[in-house]
Amino acid sequence: MNANLPDADASILYYDSDYPSADHGLYSENLDPTTEQQGVAGDVDRYLELASKLDGSILEVGCGSGRVAIPLARAGHKTHGVDVSSGMLESLRAKLPSAVADRLTFERADATTMELEERDFAFCGGDEFPEIMQCLEEQNIRLAI
């Protein structure tokens, strides 16, 4: 999402249904060949598999509504999400299960200028991975992989 998007924009309301997950989210009935082609249908499982092999906190840049961050926290991983959209973070806050609230923190920040208290993470998830990696490197944020 972008920083200038109104908090009640329809794209925020429909984000989870536009990007369904077969096993970890709402709207699995919306899975279709397009979501399969985009790689969205199985991305949560890929992140869970990667996280299971590593020790340390997980950083998700562009965490949005928590579509990936919540399953990671449910699996026991300490996860920190960053998103530039306050509307998306409000969506995450509204559906955050109390059982994972101690493992999932999030904040509104721009990935290009964020100032994180924690500087070391096991790995980072996000849609624009090459750009994210460059921003993290410029900010001296370290990843195990």
Q: Is residue 43 part of a domain?
A: yes
Q: Is residue 1 part of a domain?
A: no
The rounded distance, in Å, linking the Cα atoms of 77 and 60 is: 12
Task: Name the most confidently modeled range: 48-52, 89-93, 129-133.
Answer: 89-93
Q: What is the pTM of this model?
A: 0.76
Inter-residue contact 59 to 78 (CB < 8 Å): no
Q: Is residue 80 part of a domain?
A: yes
Could you read off the pLDDT of 51-90 as tens digits, one per residue? 888 888 888 888 888 988 999 999 999 999 989 889 889 9
Domain with 43 in it: 10-143
Q: Is residue 2 part of a domain?
A: no
Q: What is the pLDDT of residue 145?
A: 46
The rounded distance, in Å, linking the Cα atoms of 75 and 30 is: 24
Q: What is the pLDDT of residue 112?
A: 79
Q: What is the pLDDT of residue 23?
A: 61
State the pLDDT confidence band at 104, using cuts at 50, 70 and 90. very high
Locate all alpha helices (DSSP H) within 1-145, ordered by sequence: 10-13, 15-18, 33-38, 43-52, 69-74, 86-95, 129-138
Domain tally for the chain?
Answer: 1
Q: Is residue 5 part of a domain?
A: no
Is the predicted pLDDT of residue 36 greater than 70, yes or no? no
The rounded distance, in Å, linking the Cα atoms of 72 and 70 is: 5
Q: What is the CATH number of the domain that holds 60?
A: 3.40.50.150
